[in-house]
Structure 1
């Protein structure tokens, strides 16, 4: 399956809480409809029309670049503005719609409504979607954090917090500031490689940090006190540190809830996520009534986790990581502690509708389906799609996830890829707001200058399947889903039938994939490069064609929100 082949395939409309918009008030409210723009870029345009700085724009959350998104922004005592899409901007429409008493923040949002076209579906996937519809309507689905939350894995840093908990502060700091990512420009990647090679020579590292434009104070401190890695870590930007803290806390939450599903439901769907197996009950289900619908995000030493069953699930999760409850604490790092917080264990999509399947005019022999639903803040639309289209497995499915490798599409058009943020409902009501790990983009936001620098179309990269090197990546092709299935070129893991006798694996289409080699079809022939989508090599083009352009990338603008600084205007210059 593919998502976001065309911008109109993915529509997001923000919902504001009742009573936010009023006939009068100190802040004017604007409806902003955008396409191929980040929220920060749209905010910069609105700032230009209203005569304020980008930091003066209020908004509830960051929305995806890919797709057509509608959200609301506010400006204190702002003028009336009317910009029609296709007039001054072909990708941005702005309309004054009223007022509000205070600037719009995450607290003003009531969630998002989605209209999503799922393409390149086979009949079996369409049938599964229809079968899954009623159980999801009746019981919802586990409210897992999706891959958008775990940019630390997408960008090769691993679990920084786990390193800290195990006492490896130097290693954690090195991985945080010097890990390279295929999502970042080659020049920046080379500087980070040099930083890693020079580790321990703090004067040299300080010089490299100057060229990187970040982490100066980290290495200034190490020049003064070469052994004080805790003090150096404290000089990493607060937002960047918290992103890693929240990612690890979310990982523990996902693993503990997935254990509960594994323990209590023999028939379940198991999908491979970026940070582990995600398990879903197949039929209707209920939470233990004593949970009150909530599963706690764990604090230090499981502070706040009072339910005995939830505590046991967390203890088992920590044991698998080689940790004890007492070790889940970082007393030497001030202001860097896990804090407990309730999170709904189940998300119920609102007004979930699936339109009749149609022929997919962009993928020969495939079908497409339009899905509509609403979500509260903090829930992920991609998780709903996975649950609807995933395959039932049941039985034993406990296998460690493979190391994440981005698909070719994810490494593709860095300026137009999946921004990871708009396909979830922003900020689930916690005081963290947007500081929750969704704006990785390889640079996090610690730079504090704001702006989305992942602009131009990349010309590099060889296409498998025969297309030329150096061709610019188009906006087509869609989201192929490497972020959901680290070992597959599909969004979802194959049915969990267990390993093959010779160590290979069986993919969705029943074809045999030798471990570490090219896939071999039932007829015995080897397919490479531009093979079909049913289990070809990672990133292989779809049915002889290239799946281009709609690649994922981890994050949006660097700033935490509109107050993170300016963003480049639409169509910004390409990277040099």
Structure 2
């Protein structure tokens, strides 16, 4: 690893500091597909006519890109004709919207054929526009934690997380198994160029952005300022990319912050950040012409509620797009994978 690598924050996800202290409660996680259910909420209804067929598809064994390829084969179109709004993980029961560009073709999905491939088609409707990345409004999570120890610790922490939120870290999914995406991205940084392949290019840039952001946020968590205004902080309007700065913090801003109308934010790295990120990384963002944009430091789980006991505790909440449920769970409980080995996520 080069000197440049060593000078950068070494935070992916697992090693990042806790805001509320390391949890004492433990639980089994994802022992069954229905223990982790994600519902993508568009926030609007397809119009009923147009060149694009919208599908709401549920699966428990396929990630977004695999589903995209299968839908392209099913409708006999190029993969690029199948669009989606957000990325979903393979593990868990997920429902997600896709759009298929079918101009002049009155085609409907063969639900039985797709079911044989592991896809449950919940809804379909025509629309006049394709789905684009980030179109959906939020994701709804239904999570079951089983075989809990020290559940009283967890029950006392849930209200704290509901009121104060958690650090808005990029989850482990962003960085690949064992952080492999970070090493891959840094190899391209050393070469001083981006890969030609579009998907690999996107992964390199998103990995670097997530890694750098987690480093900034982790430092704020470590010194106790992740939810306290600092001079020159970005102040982001809730649910938008709009932001502003203020020379000082006052009672009115504090009330807006407490009511979740605004959030303290930091930049996702871009080409206009000379002097704040290493020059070799800046070179890649310049090649991509990718501008910096704000991301909140704080993540608030909306409509958070829970019920159950130590055998099975059910937790439900909504998260804005781009946020990770694992960032909420990480501050709440130490999780065991299916084999029973401890996994901190």
What is the TM-score with the length of structure 1 in the denominator?
Answer: 0.44
The match for 2:116 is: 89
Note closer, same or farther for the CA distance 1:95–1:51 as it changes in structure 2 (3 Å cut). Answer: farther
The match for 2:217 is: 257
1:331 is displaced (CA, Å) by 7.0
| Whole-Å separation in 1 of the counterparts to 2:154 and 2:83 | 38
The match for 2:180 is: 155
Coordinate RMSD, CA, aligned: 3.5
**Secondary structure of 2:48's match?**
coil
| Whole-Å separation in 2 of the counterparts to 1:158 and 1:370 | 36
| Whole-Å separation in 2 of the counterparts to 1:163 and 1:27 | 37
Note closer, same or farther for the CA distance 1:479–1:354 as it changes in structure 2 (3 Å cut). Answer: farther
Which residue, 470, 478, 483 being the options, matches 2:338?
478
| Whole-Å separation in 1 of the counterparts to 2:55 and 2:95 | 10
Residues 29 and 97, structure 1, Cα contact 8 Å, conserved in 2: yes
- Residue deviations 1:277-329, cap 9 Å, x none? xxxx8xxx5555953122222345845xxxxxxxxxxxxxxxxxxxx748435
The runs of 5 or more residues in structure 2 that have no matched partner are 1-26, 236-262
- Residue deviations 1:207-249, cap 9 Å, x none? xxxxxxxxxxxxxxxxxxxxxxx5xx45553542442333233
Aligned length: 286
**Secondary structure of 2:77's match?**
coil
| Whole-Å separation in 2 of the counterparts to 1:150 and 1:157 | 6
Which residue, 295, 315, 322 being the options, matches 2:266?
295
1:150 is displaced (CA, Å) by 1.6
* Bigger fraction of residues in helix: 2
The match for 1:492 is: 344
- Within 5 A, what are the aligned runs for 1:266-415? 287=229, 291-292=234-235, 293=263, 294-299=265-270, 302-303=273-274, 325=276, 327-329=278-280, 335=287, 339-359=291-311, 368-389=312-333
Residues 86 and 134, structure 2, Cα contact 8 Å, conserved in 1: no
Residues 182 and 207, structure 2, Cα contact 8 Å, conserved in 1: no
1:151 is displaced (CA, Å) by 2.5
The runs of 5 or more residues in structure 1 that have no matched partner are 174-229, 266-280, 304-323, 360-367, 392-408, 410-476, 481-488, 494-576
Residues 175 and 181, structure 2, Cα contact 8 Å, conserved in 1: no
Which residue, 8, 13, 27 being the options, matches 2:39?
13
Residues 9 and 67, structure 1, Cα contact 8 Å, conserved in 2: yes
Residues 38 and 95, structure 2, Cα contact 8 Å, conserved in 1: yes
- Residue deviations 1:120-145, cap 9 Å, x none? 321x2x22221121122122211111
1:75 is displaced (CA, Å) by 2.1
Residues 242 and 336, structure 1, Cα contact 8 Å, conserved in 2: no
Residues 29 and 98, structure 1, Cα contact 8 Å, conserved in 2: yes
| Whole-Å separation in 2 of the counterparts to 1:252 and 1:326 | 8
| Whole-Å separation in 1 of the counterparts to 2:119 and 2:158 | 34
The match for 1:24 is: 49
Residues 188 and 195, structure 2, Cα contact 8 Å, conserved in 1: no
* Bigger fraction of residues in strand: 2
Note closer, same or farther for the CA distance 1:492–1:9 as it changes in structure 2 (3 Å cut). Answer: same
**Secondary structure of 1:107's match?**
coil
| Whole-Å separation in 1 of the counterparts to 2:178 and 2:121 | 36
| Whole-Å separation in 1 of the counterparts to 2:272 and 2:65 | 37
Residues 129 and 389, structure 1, Cα contact 8 Å, conserved in 2: yes
**Secondary structure of 2:137's match?**
strand
Note closer, same or farther for the CA distance 1:57–1:132 as it changes in structure 2 (3 Å cut). Answer: same
1:88 is displaced (CA, Å) by 4.7
Q: Name the structure, 1 or 2, with higher relative contact order (CA <8 Å, separation 6+).
A: 2
| Whole-Å separation in 2 of the counterparts to 1:101 and 1:146 | 34
The match for 1:116 is: 143
Note closer, same or farther for the CA distance 1:350–1:163 as it changes in structure 2 (3 Å cut). Answer: same
Note closer, same or farther for the CA distance 1:17–1:5 as it changes in structure 2 (3 Å cut). Answer: same
- Within 5 A, what are the aligned runs for 1:133-144? 133-144=158-169
Which residue, 82, 96, 100 being the options, matches 1:57?
82
| Whole-Å separation in 2 of the counterparts to 1:287 and 1:162 | 35
1:378 is displaced (CA, Å) by 0.8
**Secondary structure of 1:121's match?**
strand
Note closer, same or farther for the CA distance 1:132–1:287 as it changes in structure 2 (3 Å cut). Answer: farther
- Within 5 A, what are the aligned runs for 1:230-245? 233=193, 236-245=196-205
Residues 334 and 342, structure 2, Cα contact 8 Å, conserved in 1: no
Note closer, same or farther for the CA distance 1:386–1:79 as it changes in structure 2 (3 Å cut). Answer: same
Larger Rg, first or second structure (1 or 2): 1
The match for 2:12 is: none
1:349 is displaced (CA, Å) by 1.0
**Secondary structure of 2:94's match?**
strand
1:96 is displaced (CA, Å) by 4.3
| Whole-Å separation in 2 of the counterparts to 1:353 and 1:61 | 24
The match for 1:500 is: none
